[in-house]
Structure 1
Amino acid sequence: MSMSAAVALGALVIALLYAIVVYNGLVRLKHNIAKAWANIDVLLKQRHDELPKLVEVCKQYKQFEQETLQRVTEARARVASAREHQDIAALGKAEGMLRTGLGQIFAVAEAYPELRANEHFMQLQTRITALENGIADRREWYNESVNLLNVRIEQFPDVFVARMFQFEAKPLLEFASAEKSDVDLKALFST
């Protein structure tokens, strides 16, 4: 074997090993995204199961804000639909609506001392708040995983391996800025 053939073979082996390392890294990132999504999905399902209980407790107080309960129920249905279809963009919008509705329920509940004193309501509020915090943590991990993959498939020379194996950019799970703002308590109690 000539020297140039050995150099060419060595370069080919190094390029192949590099492609394997890049491919395995991209696969790991892709699976991290799937795992992060599954973790979010578990928490969304748990919250989905808890919300009807919260709405039912609130309904027991006849004067409680029916419009707020209706918005939460509708948002819950939209989150479930987006979750089932793994539609990240729709999930972000529906999550924002649901977060706003939950914030309104908890804020309006302040005007109902007997509801706030209800042990079941307080347990549900604590449980849902914990789930919301868990979802926020998991969403952060999901977005970090998506960001790592998206950056990696655009970096040189990884972009060649990513294109060869058709790795595609994934969307971040985002909420609209209006949906991230705090609930306007003054507006809620002035109506």
Structure 2
Amino acid sequence: MLNSKVSGIDININSDSQAVLKALAKYTTSSKILQDCHNALQTITQSLRWMDGGHNRNLGNDTTDELARLATSLKVVGPEPIIPIPFREYKTWLHKKTQSSHSELWINGITDSPLCRACMEADETPTHVLLQCRGVEEQRAAYLGCPASLPEALGDLGGLLSFWSELGVLE
């Protein structure tokens, strides 16, 4: 319509999609496609009308529906995505991706913080976990007793392996 330089006549656009008509009537939108349509419609004299396409047979509406069905089966030429991704969808995807990555790092014990994951009171070192950490006291007592020194804790290899396995360090 815009390329044919139509002017001085009324152009009526009938649609069976109330959602599209409401979106086009909005002053602002986050969709570039809707914004382009809105801008194009502002350059012509027009009226947008809703018609109940689900209950009334209308040749124009039926033809439009058929053309839309055909268009969805056409091979797309050009870069993907053809319809730009709305920013909020990208933001949601990015949040999920970073949350997932963070969770994976946390589950695998990979962190930027040197603090002990069990007690968050001191750096997580083997000496701290084997001798001092209050967050693993029960597990340490069950597998190693109450070692007073590092050589004492390292003396029971079976207990040491069971202790580290219980904490998930060996997985």
* Shorter-chain TM band: under 0.3
* Bigger CA radius of gyration: 2
- TM-score between both structures, scaled by the size of structure 2: 0.24
Q: Write 1 or 2 for the structure with the bigger share of strand.
A: 2
TM-score by length of 1: 0.22
Structure (1 or 2) with the greater helix fraction? 1
Higher relative contact order (CA 8 A, sep 6+): 1
